[in-house]
């Protein structure tokens, strides 16, 4: 089992460019999440998908969109990148509320 | 709504000393509580969790935490620190349902505590 995988690992964008962060899990989990991590702020939830076919906003959704492509894959899109979106992005998944979340290795994004 | 406060953004201990990382939470329903560890340039790894049952939970690498409902706390401890324990630690609370009433594990994280262990 690879667990949760994320691509790319690193990315540099110019302001206004777009990109999609990819996430996949092979654990047959129902729920998937996207977080951003900024120094001193912990992890903040951007979007989540409680089950295949559903997505909902988290704490900081502005500037992002998501797609739950199938049960395995959950992508995060930045339509027009801004310097404020410079961060480390983590994808996670779990079976349901009583189970811990498994995290991917992260994508380090810099927007200049 | 739920929230988590970790007291102390940095904690420094000597190797062999007690590790105590503090976490207080607020939740309108009985919480599920987690501690995660993050080593440099890596993702988060679960240390331990409390959902129901015994309030003292043991995790990996010799860590344990006690759920104290009256104090709304879930402090993380380890009797003897090791150099390899140096990392950032996150406390998190989970309990929620979506509009359809389905439970899901939406986590709210604390700000993190960086643990430094010196010889």
In the prediction, which pLDDT does A51 show? Answer: 86
Query: Could you tell me which chain A residue has the CA closest to the CA of B106?
Result: A97
Q: State the Cα–Cα distance between residues A17 and B57, nearest whole angstrom.
A: 46
**Contact across the interface for A103 and B45, Cβ inside 8 Å:** yes
Q: Which of B48, B102, B3, B21 is nearest to A59 (CA)?
A: B3
pLDDT confidence bin for A108, thresholds 50/70/90: very high
**Contact across the interface for B43 and A98, Cβ inside 8 Å:** no
Quote the minimal CA–CA distance from B15 to chain A in Å.
Answer: 25
**Per residue in A52-79, pLDDT tens?**
889 999 989 999 999 998 999 999 999 9
In the prediction, which pLDDT does B106 show? Answer: 75
Query: Could you tell me which chain B residue has the CA closest to the CA of A91?
Result: B43
Contact residues on chain A for B96, CB-CB shorter than 8 A: 97
Contact residues on chain B for A105, CB-CB shorter than 8 A: 42-43
In the prediction, which pLDDT does A70 show? Answer: 95
In the prediction, which pLDDT does A99 show? Answer: 72
**Contact across the interface for A58 and B44, Cβ inside 8 Å:** no
Phi-psi region of B14 (alpha: psi -120 to 50; beta: other; left: phi over 0): beta
Q: State the Cα–Cα distance between residues B99 and A58, nearest whole angstrom.
A: 13
Quote the minimal CA–CA distance from A34 to chain B in Å.
Answer: 11
**Per residue in A32-54, pLDDT tens?**
999 999 988 889 999 999 888 89
Q: CA distances (Å), B118 to each of A111, B3, B11, B64, B85, in order?
A: 36, 31, 11, 21, 10
Lowest mean pLDDT among A93-97, B14-18, B107-111: A93-97
**Contact across the interface for A48 and B109, Cβ inside 8 Å:** no
pLDDT confidence bin for B85, thresholds 50/70/90: very high
**Contact across the interface for A97 and B96, Cβ inside 8 Å:** yes
3 state SS of A69: coil
**Contact across the interface for A45 and B104, Cβ inside 8 Å:** no
């Amino acid at each position: 089992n690879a667990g949760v995988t994320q691509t790319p690992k690193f990315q540099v964008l110019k302001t206004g460019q777009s990109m999609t962060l990819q996430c996949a899990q092979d654990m047959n989990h129902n729920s998937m999440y996207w977080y951003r991590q900024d120094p001193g702020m912990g992890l903040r939830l951007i979007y989540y998908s409680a089950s295949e076919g559903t997505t909902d906003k988290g704490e900081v959704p502005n500037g992002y969109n998501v797609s739950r492509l199938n049960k395995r894959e959950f992508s995060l899109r930045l339509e027009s990148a801004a310097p404020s979106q410079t961060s480390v992005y983590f994808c996670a998944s779990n079976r349901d509320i009583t189970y811990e979340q498994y995290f991917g290795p992260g994508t380090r994004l810099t927007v200049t | 709504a739920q929230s988590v406060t970790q007291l102390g953004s940095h904690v420094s201990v000597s190797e062999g000393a007690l590790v105590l990382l503090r976490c207080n939470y607020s939740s309108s329903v009985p919480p599920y509580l987690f501690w995660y560890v993050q080593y440099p340039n890596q993702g988060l790894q679960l240390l331990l969790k409390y959902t129901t049952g015994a309030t003292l939970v043991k995790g990996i690498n010799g860590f344990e935490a006690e759920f104290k409902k009256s104090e709304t706390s879930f402090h993380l401890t380890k009797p003897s620190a090791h150099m390899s324990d140096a990392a950032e630690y996150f406390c998190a609370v989970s309990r929620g349902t979506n509009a359809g009433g389905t439970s899901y594990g939406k986590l709210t994280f604390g700000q993190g505590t960086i643990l430094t262990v010196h010889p």
